[in-house]
Structure 1
């Protein structure tokens, strides 16, 4: 049995709603990670977005800095995915996608519960969030261990399907 992509959009195609800011490496990535956690604990939504974008930059340029604290990072990012402010939620979904894309197999232990959060968000009425979820799931599919990604989607997707959602739109069986 082989898995094939259900969609043909290239992985590096930005979504319409992607943050247009250009990311650069941090001079002091460990300090940047500490600052990101502080920003994400803030009550100010703009600070939270800045913290999420810092994690995206760290994932892109300094993935080795994130790996030791990956579970804690995923916890705070998933918390922001559930944020009621759609801008914060959308950036958090994009952050999960970046984590999948740049940390690849290191994200395998986090797949089961992070994919659950994304599948729940896929049912949102907000179009830009649904599009970001699609991009994040595409990153998961292409970057993580295929068997782990498929297992997470099946385990979480089947439960989600019982609530009226779709299952496995990102895989077709040949």
Structure 2
């Protein structure tokens, strides 16, 4: 369980104490807030002061509190106390303008996803667009809680959310590309959860357009997701999806602007080379007539499926890596 302070993005006049109980953010208690009226009068005589009957200004008390947000890992979340009431008020909470109530509702989504996923299945169509909206929230506490919620949704619902996945994916790619480190790291973990729990045959077509996104950071994060997802296809799954399609995608990323994209492409090409060579080890009876022409050398396959320049770049990557393995084992 990690605790992070979210102080920089919250104006002092808005700051509230918040803590998590059973995964939910609770409202602050202001009874113990004390204010130095004399100091307030000096600092706020124009904006907060109101004239009294004797011409002097009387300053209203100002609540000054410190915000501390506790983000609870999924394995440490407890069950909700009342499932029916939680489901009944869920959408209202996710639509709230009060950021504290919104964080509570997001954590309720996490709890329901973990402990009562069947009960919430019918509400996913309403819940996911509201989670996407929370991902866009400028307040870091809301944004990170929504990211953690996304990861729990991926783990709980797998392929059931594919039709609603694209807007979630876009926001997570954006958040994983920004400079605010703790938000970025949370988004990267959510993307790992996505590639772990959503079937690659369904996920790869959704990821592919982002490999050509105008933002190079988004392209890089999408390339990393694509590279993580492909190995889960397995040999038969890769054959069914089309190894020629995958090698063309990887080849196009070799010349991308950011090194993360290029590294992901290199890793993917090595994976595809390994899978392709497993094709060659199939017995003749197991190889279909359509596959027979492809059961050839890796070099010939690359030259057949790619342009000369792309084939040269791919073979340079895979041959250098293969030579490095041979030298290392000798």
Match for residue 211 of structure 2 among 153, 158, 162? 158
Q: Give the number of equivalent residue pairs.
A: 159
Higher RCO, 1 vs 2 (CA within 8 Å, ≥6 residues apart): 1
Matched, 1:19 2:65: no
Q: What's the TM-score, normalizing by structure 2?
A: 0.45
Query: Which residue number corresponds to residue 102 of structure 1?
Result: 156
1:168 — aligned with what? 223
Q: Is the 8 A contact 1:108 1:145 kept in 2?
A: no
Task: State the secondary structure of the residue aligned to 1:169.
Answer: helix
> Taking structure 1 as the reference length, what is the TM-score of the superposition?
0.82
Deviations 1:101-155 (A, max 9, x none): 1111212222222111211222221111111111111111111111222222212
Q: List gaps (5 residues or longer) in structure 1.
A: 1-13
1:128, 1:122 → 2: CA distance? 10
Q: 1:88 to 1:25 in 2, by over 3 A?
A: same
- Mapped to 2, the partners of 1:27 and 1:35 lie a distance apart of 13
Does structure 2 retain, via aligned residues, the 8 Å contact 1:94–1:136? yes
Larger radius of gyration: 2
Contact 2:175/2:184 (<8 A) preserved? yes
Q: Would you identify which runs of 4 or more consecutive aligned residues in structure 1 move more than 3 Å?
A: 14-18
Unmatched 5+ residue regions in structure 2? 5-69, 228-266, 272-330
Give the alignment of 1:74-153 within 5 angstroms.
74-153=128-207
Structure 1 contact 118–137 (Cα < 8 Å) conserved: yes
Q: What CA distance in whole angstroms lies between the structure 2 residues aligned with 1:163 and 1:136?
A: 20
